[in-house]
Amino acid sequence: MIVLRKFVKLCIPLCLGAQFLAVDVIAQTPPLKKENLQKGKIEFQQNCAECHGNEAMGGAGPNLLESPLVRHDNSGDLIAPVIREGRGGKGMPAFPLMSQADILDIAGFLHARIEANNNVKSSTFMREHTLKQFLTGNAEAGRQYFYGKGRCNTCHSPTGDLAGIASRYSPMRLEARFLYPPHNNIMAIVFLPSGKQIKGKLLHLDAFYVAILNEDGWYRSWSLQQVKVEVKDPLTEHLELLGKYKNKDVHDIFAYLETLK
């Protein structure tokens, strides 16, 4: 319940923020009319709903009603760059040709959805489940899995990177994140014909070319006919564990992580 109280506290400033944002929108641009919201809904459903859900409450992609970026957006100033440039590492495609008017309509729709969601206890699953619903596992068994079978402690520490993790995420997000956290930090080593090796963050790899962000911050790309590539995904162990967990393990580990407040 502590988490819930914190969630509510967190919501209050965010809700207020959303309302202020709405006022800002009205101050800076013509007031959002029903037709703008309707157009925004159509644009959203056509372009975004496949991943973010018809009502923007998530699916393969994140719930945008929970998104800090969306909640802090002012007249599309934060949303527009994400739509236009995409988020390659997270699977969000770019829509470079979308007009500013369409983006504003989408932003208007999202802000209206947030307002509606804040005011009405709507009935979808993304409305937070209570912690009690999730606490079905055994924390001690989870701890043993963490240090034993799972070998989680080889990369993570309850007093280091995981300290306070249960306070940072809602129960549902915490469960999904420990299973397979969203990330975009796959590393690659590119072996040039000269024998030189270049390391960097992997930006693209398909059957034809590789692109990395070099350690000096520059983008580099090569045809795969010219180079060889070695990929290092820090989440390889997470992926392997997905194939090994029994459902009881999932709930035990969750119960253990929930003790890390």
Partner 1 sequence: MIFLPIWKRSSSIKTIAILIIAGAECLFGQTSIVTNSIPSLNDSWPTYNGDYSGRRYSTLTQINKSNVKSLKLAWAYQTHAATLKSTPLEMHGIVYFTVPDRVWALDAKTGQQIWEFRRTSEGDHTGQRGVAFYSDRIYFGTPDAHLLCLDARNGKKLWDVKIADTNLGYYLSIAPLIVKGFVVVGTSDDIIAVRHFIEALDWKTGKVVWRTSTLAEPGTPAAKTWPNNRAMNHGGGSAWITGTYDPDLNLIYWGTGNPHPVLAGAGRAGDNLYTCSILALNAATGAIVWSFQTSPHDTHDWDSVETPVLFNAKFNGRPRKLLAQASRNGYFFVLDRQTGEHLLTSPYVPTNWAKGVDYKGSPIPNPAKEPQPDGLLLRGAQGGGTNWMSPSFDPETGLFYVNARKGYSLWHLDADAKSPPEDNHGGGSIALFTTSILLALDYRTGEIRWQRESGLGLGYPGILTTAGHLLFTGDISGNLLALDPSNGHVLWHTRPGGMLNSAPMTYQLNGTQYILTGIDGVLYAWSLSGSL
Q: Which residues bind partner 1 (CB under 8 A)?
A: 38, 41-43, 45-47, 49-50, 54, 57-60, 91, 93, 95, 97, 99, 122-126, 129, 133-137, 172, 175-176, 179-180, 204-208, 239, 242-243, 245, 247, 250-251, 254
254 vs 256, which CB is nearer to partner 1?
254
> C-beta of 95: minimal distance to partner 1 in Å?
8
58 vs 76, which CB is nearer to partner 1?
58
DSSP notation for 125-184:
TTSPPPHHHH--S-HHHHHHHHHTTT-GGGT--TTTTTTTHHHHS-HHHHHHHHHS----
21 vs 202, which CB is nearer to partner 1?
202
> C-beta of 251: minimal distance to partner 1 in Å?
6
Q: Coil, helix or strand for 254?
A: helix
> C-beta of 151: minimal distance to partner 1 in Å?
18
119 vs 123, which CB is nearer to partner 1?
123
> C-beta of 214: minimal distance to partner 1 in Å?
21
72 vs 168, which CB is nearer to partner 1?
168
> C-beta of 135: minimal distance to partner 1 in Å?
8
Strands, sheet with 197-205, edge to edge from the N-terminal-most edge strand: 219-223, 209-214, 197-205, 187-191, 228-232
